[in-house]
Amino acid sequence: MHRAWAIIERELRRFRRSPVLIAMSMTFPIVQLVVLGYAFGGNVKHLKLAIVDQDHGVPAVKVRELASAVASGARTIDTIDYTDPGVALTDLRNGRVNGVLTIPPDFSRRVLERSQPRVALIEDNTDSFVSNAMAATLGGLLAAYNQPATAPRVPGQATLDVVEVYPYVPYVQYLLPGSVVMSIFMMVMIGGGIIFIDDKARGLHEGYLVTPITKFELIAGFNISGTIKAVVAGMFLIVIGSIIAGIPNPFDPMRLVRLFVLVVVTSFALISLMFLLMVRVTDPLLPRAVFGILNTVLYFPSGAVYPQQGFPGWMTVIAVADPFTYAVHAFKNLLLKNTGFVAIASDLTFLLIFSAVAMTAATLLFKRTL
């Protein structure tokens, strides 16, 4: 085994002298965390809502007052009064407003008659985030409108009381587990896959193969050194990412120990996958070509950026086999919920079995000669 350590020593000395490699592997996940986290994390505000009041009755004025209250409070919408519905619709089509709320002429009469009073929201649905936010805001507005002026002493309707177990989780925190796994993957890909193939193409592996090193020592040397590099990247992102995302109490020693174990297991699983993919490759262009594809196929179906419950069936199949899925799930537990090992036992089990299967297959494919 001492020969494997010689390879590990060599790889780590080279790693230490390649600051560009280290920076590239760690910068991308941090930039992604910050940009995506804050781009997607905020609530939608200042949507322009045209209000066409064709009624002008007291109930219609009440609707307009509620809309103005939202505009000056939560600021989800900014209201603009229109008199001509045609002009309002033209402005909607030209993008000057995001939606048109029309209060029809018979609104007040229907309210008084209790005859299904209606207001209409005509919205630009090309941006589902905007249209959903506007529909939700106006839905809440009408719910408030429908509340009786005086609440009954004993309410007869069922209500839902939501109790949140954990403190509020902003999107940047939601994204952090995926970014940690991404940083591990980046290091596995650049510091493991690409360097492995480049070294092979340059003939460096010939230097190893003419020594008495065994097949097992070679495989151990390549994979342990790759795992160490990935662990460095993963722990770095946990520390920096936790500070950026504002994870509560990020440096609790027990949490760090659990995170370290998970980073090691994840790194080994991903380096095993990489070794299996690259064990017979000789063309240095290939790992570069598959880098982007692998990144997309593994990262997005993992639930790192969006809940897997919203995926179509075919993508769920990918997610089930994707080691990212289990790593991201486990990191969410440790980073966002600060759970113990019990909560991530099934994730760790999957990652360890995945590593064993991939490493066994790669070992069988690995050739001790050229």
Partner 1 sequence: MSNAIEVRGIVKRFGDFTAVDGVSFAVEEGEIFGLLGPNGAGKSTLIRMLVTLLQPTAGTALVSGFDITKQPDDVRRAIGVIPQAMTSDLELSVEENLIIFAKLYGVPRAKREKLIDDLLAAVELTQWRHAQVKNLSGGMRRRVEIARGLVHEPRIFFLDEPTTGLDPVSRVAVWEMLQKIKAERDLTILITTHYMDEADKLCDRIAIVDHGELKALDSPLKLKASIPGKNILDVSFSSTPPGWLERLQQLPHVQSVTGEDNIFRMSSTNGPETTLALMEQAQAAGVSVQSLSVQSTTLDDVFVHYTGRALRDALQEANPLDRGFMMRRP
Q: Could you tell me which stretch among 14-22, 130-138, 306-314, 317-325 binds partner 1 (CB under 8 A)?
A: 14-22
Candidates 1, 3, 170, 313: give the one binding partner 1 (CB under 8 A): 3
Tell me: does residue 12 bind partner 1 (CB under 8 A): no
Candidates 6, 34, 264, 290: give the one binding partner 1 (CB under 8 A): 6
Q: Any idea which residue has 């086999």 for tokens?
A: 321
State which residue, 93 or 367, has the beta carbon closest to partner 1: 367
Distance CA 335, CA 238 (A): 9
Q: Any idea which residue has 């089990």 for tokens?
A: 349
Tell me: does residue 24 bind partner 1 (CB under 8 A): no
Q: Of all helices (H) and strands (E), which one includes residue 44? A: none
Distance CA 330, CA 326 (A): 6
State which residue, 113 or 198, has the beta carbon closest to partner 1: 198
State which residue, 5 or 145, has the beta carbon closest to partner 1: 5
Q: Which among 151, 118, 144 has a CA at the least distance from the CA of 65?
A: 144
Q: Could you tell me which stretch among 44-52, 84-92, 198-206, 352-360 binds partner 1 (CB under 8 A)?
A: 198-206
Contact yes or no for 52/102 (Cβ under 8 A): yes
Candidates 154, 160, 210, 342: give the one binding partner 1 (CB under 8 A): 210
Q: Which among 277, 354, 357, 360 has a CA at the least distance from the CA of 321?
A: 354
Tell me: does residue 206 bind partner 1 (CB under 8 A): yes
353-364 as b/e: b if 16+ CB within 10 A: ebbeebbeebbe
Distances (CA, A) of 21 to 18, 191, 233: 5, 7, 11
Site string for partner 1, 267-286 (x = CB under 8 A): ---------------x----
Site string for partner 1, 226-265 (x = CB under 8 A): ----------------------------------------
Binding footprint of partner 1 on the chain (CB under 8 A): 2-3, 5-7, 9-10, 13-14, 17-18, 202-204, 206-213, 282, 369-370
